[in-house]
Amino acid sequence: MPPSHWYRDAVFRRGKGVSENQKFADQEVFKKFLSQIRPGAPDAWQGEMMRREFGRGFYNLQPIEWWKVLDVDLVSDWSAIKKAYQNKIPFADAGEAALLNFCLEEGRNFCAVMNIKSV
């Protein structure tokens, strides 16, 4: 087995100068990926995969509350979600934009699953 540090930054290849928001967005994408490739995996396995990619530490393995990032209600329709995104994105730096993009995608997926249409 290769040493653990060989895995570091193997997927996202961001380097050391990545902003906290970009890192947070990458972690959310990676958590979603892990839950898709191994549903029901133990938290210990998910935590180890996170540590391999992002370094030592403890990671919140709960999904992001995308509606809070976008400042909308969980039961918002697609048009409200899109409007909230459009209001925030012009003022976002690259790292924050990555997080907002992830949250927009999560909101769209939520609306598709819940069959919520815009009014």
Domain ranges in the chain are 1-62, 64-119
pTM above 0.85, yes or no: no
**Residues 29, 102 contacting (CB under 8 angstroms):** yes
pLDDT band at 116 (very low <50, low <70, confident <90, very high): low
Identify the CA nearest to 55 among candidates 22, 16, 25, 19. 16
Segment 92-98 shows an average pLDDT of 89
Percent of the chain surpassing pLDDT 70: 97
Average pLDDT over residues 40-49: 92
Apex 72 CA angle, 68 and 77, nearest 5: 130
Task: Please count the CA atoms within 13 angstroms of the CA of 111 that sit on its side-chain side.
Answer: 20
Strand, coil or helix: what is 115? coil
| pLDDT band at 3; cut points 50, 70, 90 | confident
Which one of 58-62, 72-76, 85-89 scores highest in mean pLDDT?
85-89
Q: Residue 62 and residue 86: Cα distance in Å, rounded?
A: 26
Residue 66 near residue 106, CB atoms below 8 Å = yes
